[in-house]
Amino acid sequence: MKWGGALGIQQTLKAISDPSRREILDLLKSGGKTAGEIGQHFQATGATVSHHLSVLKNAGLIMDEKKGKFIYYELNMTVFQEILSWITAFTGGDQDE
């Protein structure tokens, strides 16, 4: 299945509308991290963090890579372009035409 289409923008915007998830994205700006490392920055349970990671992953905002005992998460920049396009359509940018 290929995300990033018309259905994708909804999932993406929903994903970034939660503060915890945005904080996760901010964390990943400085490089890939394991679920555990990410969880250390929050008071929330590991299960909660895992859920947020799952939402971000389904939205295509992050990717995961299994490395032995750990799972590394990292940003997937390409999806941000979609939001960018949606927004610039308002700010006078005729990017889609």
Partner DNA sequence: ATAACATTTAGACATTCATCTAAATATTAT
Partner DNA sequence: ATAATATTTAGATGAATGTCTAAATGTTAT
Span interacting with its own copies, options 32-40, 46-54, 65-73, 84-92, rule CB under 8 A: 84-92
Asked if 7 touches DNA (CB under 7 A), the answer is: no
Query: Which residues partner with 36 through β-bridges?
Result: none
Spatial distance between the Cα atoms of 57 and 67, rounded to a whole number of angstroms:
17
Spatial distance between the Cα atoms of 53 and 59, rounded to a whole number of angstroms:
10
Contacts (Cβ under 8 Å, ≥6 apart) of 63: 57, 73, 74, 75, 76
- For its own copies, the binding residues in 10-69 under the rule CB under 8 A are 10, 13-14, 16-17, 19, 22, 25, 29
Q: Identify which of residues 48 and 81 has a Cβ nearer to DNA in the complex.
A: 48
Residues that bind DNA (CB under 7 A): 14, 17-18, 20, 34-37, 39, 43-55, 64, 66, 68-71
